[in-house]
Amino acid sequence: MNDKKTSGGGKDGHYARLRRAHREANPLPSSDNVVLYGLHTVRAAILNPDRKPLQLLATRNALARLELADDTLRRCPVEIVEPKAIDRLTGDGAVHQGIALETLPLKPKPLTALGDTDLVLVLDQVTDPHNVGAILRSAVAFGAGALVTTARHSPVESGVLAKAASGALEHIDHIEVRNLAEALETLSQSGFQTVGLDSEGPDILEQTVSGAKIALVLGAEGKGLRQKTRETVDALARLDMPGAIKSLNVSNAAVLSLYVARHAMVES
């Protein structure tokens, strides 16, 4: 019996050849993999040369909407599946849009790999992956070069975080440090003005940020910045909130702070 999926005929045979060629050239490593999903997230991940994709599961319609050339798709084996197969991989409730990518996680970089960026976001124990993903998206939109987090009390790379970031995870360096206070001191010595966001900060952010290099430091909702962090930053500042509520969700505070910082840098 001649089966298109195995005989090499038609589109299914074409993707089978891609899968076979990739498996022969790239045997799967033994590692803790992550599953990314959603069109924007998966497209950005496959296009990221630093990413090691392992397997792409997609409905035929979603694969067409991905709009990637065959040469690019050869980076990983492609399997055409029904939506239920992706549901099983991503878990209930994931808005996967008919596509999921199994991949090795990106490796965080040390502070010495910061490079020549002029705008950095630092998170002090912000653990919610939805918030961190949204912060990443805003950071990339405003041209921040790195997101600095601690090795502990920070979310690991996941489908939830990557979906919230909508592809931004692939466009910004993730710097991981063990001691945040030491990292802030290093940033300050490197010419960054380190500014901690605090709803009760003594000064307004617009009147505080200055200079050619800025590092914005945000704390977790509820707890805010830790005391050691508050003592280490160059300045504490608040977003001016004229309404009855004086604080924002950390991802909203991040986007406003990035706007203020970038605007100040352009004017300086």
Q: Is 166 exposed, middle or buried (0-12, 13-18, 19+ CB in 10 A)?
A: middle
How confident is the model at residue 12, as a pLDDT?
Answer: 56
Q: Where are the domains of the chain?
A: 4-103, 111-267
- Residue ranges for the chain with pLDDT beneath 70: 1-31, 268
Contact between 61 and 93 (Cβ < 8 Å): no
Q: Is 247 exposed, middle or buried (0-12, 13-18, 19+ CB in 10 A)?
A: middle
Locate 60 and state its tokens: 């035929």
What is the DSSP track for the chain? Answer: ---HHHHT-HHHHHHHHHHHHHHHHSPPPSS--EEEESHHHHHHHHH-TT--EEEEEE-HHHHHHH---HHHHTTS-EEE--HHHHHHHH-TT---TTEEEEEPPPPPB-GGG-TT-SEEEEEES---HHHHHHHHHHHHHTT--EEEEESSSSPPP-HHHHHHHTTGGGGSEEEEES-HHHHHHHHHHTTPEEEEE-TT-SEEGGGT--SS-EEEEEEBTTTBS-HHHHHHSSEEEE----SS-----HHHHHHHHHHHHHHHHHH-
**Cα(215)–Cα(47) distance, integer angstroms:** 28
List pLDDT tens digits, range 147-195: 999 998 899 999 999 999 999 999 999 999 999 999 999 999 999 999 9
CATH of domain 111-267: 3.40.1280.10
**Cα(268)–Cα(256) distance, integer angstroms:** 18
Query: 100 - beta bridge partners?
Result: 37, 57
Query: 120 - beta bridge partners?
Result: 146, 215
Classify domain 4-103 at the CATH superfamily level: Ribosomal protein L30/S12 (3.30.1330.30)
**Cα(60)–Cα(156) distance, integer angstroms:** 30
pTM for the full predicted model: 0.84
How confident is the model at residue 11, as a pLDDT?
Answer: 52
Query: 236 - beta bridge partners?
Result: 196
